[in-house]
Amino acid sequence: MEGKKVYLQPRGALLDAIHDIVELQRGRKLVTDTPRGTVQFIVSMYGFKWELRFTVTDIGKNRCRVRLEINGEESGQDKIIYRQFALLDSMLIWGAKVEIAEQETDNAEQ
């Protein structure tokens, strides 16, 4: 099973975040091919074992496509893919700006 997502981030930032995800989950790296944008590792969670392979491809204009392939226990693969992308999303939000606007009141109603 696989999932894909496009990020408005440089390739290096995505690969760094993926390596952090491996460490965070105590994954065992099988393949790390940074020039080709591939990180493959095994992770055990909730009594199950999965082999995950992230592939990061630069698609221009400071954007990258991330493909995640998963092999292992059949049950819950889609949830693991969603969880991995959510974890990647949360790791890439550094420096995100929040726009705060004052709530406007209508003086005519008061």
Assess whether pLDDT exceeds 80 at residue 12.
yes
Please check whether residue 67 is in contact with residue 58, taking contact to mean a CB–CB distance below 8 angstroms. Answer: no
φ/ψ of 59, rounded to 5, equals -115, 15
Tell me if 57 sits within 8 A of 6, measured CB to CB. no
**pTM confidence score:** 0.78
pLDDT per residue over 53-62, tens digit each?
999 999 988 8
What average pLDDT does range 45-72 have in this prediction? 89
pLDDT score recorded for residue 19: 94
**Cα 32 from chain centre:** 16
Mean pLDDT of 29-48: 88
Q: Which among 11, 23, 25 is positioned nearest to 66, based on CA atoms?
A: 11
The fraction of the chain above a pLDDT of 90, given in percent, is 46
Across 24-28, 29-33, 60-64, 78-82, least confident range: 60-64
Q: Which residues lie across from 64 on neighbouring strands?
A: 7, 58
pLDDT-derived band at 72, boundaries 50, 70, 90: confident
